[in-house]
Chains A and B, each alone.
Chain A
């Protein structure tokens, strides 16, 4: 009753191939964007912007980048944080060293630099698959961190390797306030999400999925396996590079190479596993789970159990509960949170009946 296609007829293939076919979907999206761009700035405070919403958006974008590679093209990678680091440090250097380089353009160039590095570390995927590829992408993780730490040129000869965000000024507007940084992040993430939706529905996205599902058959159809994999690495790393720039400049403000270590790569991998492989929405759900749940748990336990239990113990208990919840969700829904959304949509289609 609530969500179905009855009465909505498409009369052209172009209309049928739209990303959001139903008016319910289009209005839902418009509403969501209106809330995010207009309502949230009025009701949220600086703590929400800086500590919750911005990292949530940036990690969603990073998850999206990895999901294009792992969920759609089927190539495992543990180098996500390395590609983020390349994006951040490249954007920093482009902005620093080229006179008058607009801020947003340096983000794009940072993303392109990350794409280039991604292609190089994607080369092993032409020979090896699965867990072996996962291990080989660790090389990216360690190599990039080593280069950025040992060659101080990348951090403009800062002794600790720390880079600091330049002034976030775009077309005369200052985006340095928490609200400004939130809106900037939201705008970029929204634009790249639209791009990702377009990619996964295009012929390019189909080729990725074909290689993921059955590479022999894909080769027999005439898909160039090597090219498809490398393009996947490039596009994925581009997204991750932009996420890295945002992480450095709109979230943290200052960042060192160590901020993009293996733990971050694992975090992004968990986001897409919990959110759902091969789903765009899943990255946002997974990032929400990873970012918001620990904060929620800590608030709950601090309010309910403060004084009753030793604070150190309390922190450990939070971690245990968080881990248990991850296990619970993966058992209940191995395909990720995005699948729950899918089945809710299926239910809404026939509601109030069950089948």
Chain B
């Protein structure tokens, strides 16, 4: 098993490497000494029971939480912690478990906000709509429309996101993240609360993203069926520790993973 895993890793260069990451909240350990790496261009799934530390790990990767120990190596640079702004500048985009859209804005405006870091004009130019601002506004709109078309949300582009159904809101959030043209995309339960049809659509969008833009994707998902079909790499967490790491086939037969999910006979 380890030989297969090694050979897989030697084929591609890792984009993200976590080394010995630990995180605790006021003494309660959320993550203990977790290391794994994500290769450029792969879809990596984080799975595990509730409270295993999956979301915390995503928050460490893009700087919302600061780890107690360990290093984050991203795109060749190694650091103790990320800051959310740095992470965004470095091309890390994400979606949230509880949708974090800007509810008072239209779908289009939400997607345009995702292009924030591609703005070159100063705020004075934007306010007076002079200089670089008008051309840039048109250019950003064109890019935003490409994402809107890619995710098939054209009919709703002028609606307030707060009024849209749940499944669509999830899709808009993905659109906002994709508008940033990220190199690494973190998806926190992109299919939570969806029905079969919506899950299929979302899986298709995630696969298309990987294929068309070559984006590296780390996602958290509870639906094992979806995970096995979607990802090339699965990392299993339980009680803040890593208990499995490998291809879906390897993880499926890993006794620790089976024990964590199904329990063992004693």
Contact = CB atoms under 8 A, between A and B. Distances in A.
Interface of A: 12-14, 16-17, 195, 198-199, 202-204, 206-207, 209-210, 212-214, 216-224, 231, 235, 278
A35 to B, nearest CB: 26
Contacts of A17: 137-138, 141
Contacts of B62: 220
B105 A206 contact: yes
Given A13-B138, A206-B109, A220 B64 contact: yes
A210 B102 contact: yes
Nearest to B179: A221
Contacts of B138: 12-14, 17
The 6 closest A-B CB pairs, nearest first, are A222-B88, A213-B102, A217-B100, A202-B126, A222-B117, A13-B141
B217 interface: no
B87 A207 contact: no
Given A14-B134, A203-B126, A220 B87 contact: yes
B25 interface: no
Contacts of A209: 102, 104-105, 109
A270 B211 CA distance: 53
B85 A224 contact: yes
Interface string B112-149: 11101101010100111100011011101110010000
23 contacts: A17-B141, A199-B126, A202-B137, A203-B112, A203-B119, A203-B126, A204-B126, A206-B113, A206-B116, A209-B109, A214-B101, A216-B64, A217-B96, A217-B100, A219-B85, A220-B62, A220-B84, A221-B93, A221-B113, A221-B180, A222-B85, A222-B88, A222-B89
Contacts of A212: 102, 104
Interface in B82-112: 84-85, 87-89, 93-94, 96, 100-105, 109, 112
Given A13-B138, A195-B127, A207-B116, A217 B121 contact: no
- B interface, how many residues as a size bin? 35 or more
Contact of A221 (B64, B103, B134, B176): B176
Contacts of A217: 96, 100-102
Contacts, number: 102
Interface of A is mostly: helix
Secondary structure of the B side of the interface? helix
Interface of B: 62, 64, 84-85, 87-89, 93-94, 96, 100-105, 109, 112-114, 116-117, 119, 121, 123, 126-129, 133-134, 136-138, 140-142, 145, 176, 180
Nearest to A209: B105
Interface centre among A14, A214, A220, A235 (most CB of B within 10 A): A220
A213 B116 contact: no
Given A210-B105, A222-B85, A199 B113 contact: no
A214 B110 CA distance: 11
Nearest to A224: B85
Contact of B127 (A14, A221, A235): A235
A203 B100 contact: no
A195 B128 contact: yes
B40 to A, nearest CB: 21
Contact of B123 (A198, A216, A219, A231): A231
Contacts of B121: 203
B72 to A, nearest CB: 16
Nearest to A217: B100
A191 to B, nearest CB: 11
Contact of B133 (A202, A206, A214, A278): A202
A189 B162 CA distance: 33
B102 A214 contact: yes
A235 B127 CA distance: 9
A222 B113 CA distance: 10
A203 B137 contact: yes
Contacts of B89: 222
Given A213-B102, A214-B101, A220-B84, A202 B129 contact: yes
A198 B96 CA distance: 31
Contacts of A203: 112, 116, 119, 121, 123, 126, 133, 136-137, 140
